[in-house]
Amino acid sequence: MNENPEQTPLIALRSVSKIYRSGDVEVAALRSVDFTVEHGDFVAIMGSSGSGKSTLMNILGCLDRPTSGQYLLEGQDVSRLDRNDLAIVRNRTLGFVFQSFNLLARTSALENVELPMLYAGLPARERRQRAREALERVGLGARLDHHPRQLSGGQQQRVAIARALVSRPRVILADEPTGNLDSRTSVEVMALFQELRREGITLVLVTHEPDIAGYAGRVVVVKDGRILSDRRQQPVPAEVPPLEEAAS
Alpha helices in the chain (DSSP H): 53-60, 83-93, 109-119, 124-137, 153-165, 183-198, 210-213
- For residue 4, the minimal CB distance to ligand ADP (Å) is 34
- For residue 98, the minimal CB distance to ligand ADP (Å) is 13
Q: In this chain, which stretch among 53-61, 91-99, 102-110, 229-237 interacts with ligand ADP, using CB under 6 A?
A: 53-61
- 27 counts as binding ligand ADP under rule CB under 6 A: yes
DSSP string across 102-155: ---TTS-HHHHHHHHHHHTT--HHHHHHHHHHHHHHTT-TT-TT--GGGS-HHH
- 20 counts as binding ligand ADP under rule CB under 6 A: yes
Between 38 and 209, name the residue whose CB sits nearer to ligand ADP. Answer: 209
Q: Nearest CA to 114 among 89, 145, 155?
A: 145
- For residue 47, the minimal CB distance to ligand ADP (Å) is 5
The option from ligand ADP, Mg ion, none interacting with 22 (CB < 5 to 8 A, set by class) reads ligand ADP
The option from ligand ADP, Mg ion, none interacting with 27 (CB < 5 to 8 A, set by class) reads ligand ADP
- For residue 58, the minimal CB distance to Mg ion (Å) is 9
Q: Which residues contact 195 (CB under 8 A, 6 or more apart)?
A: none
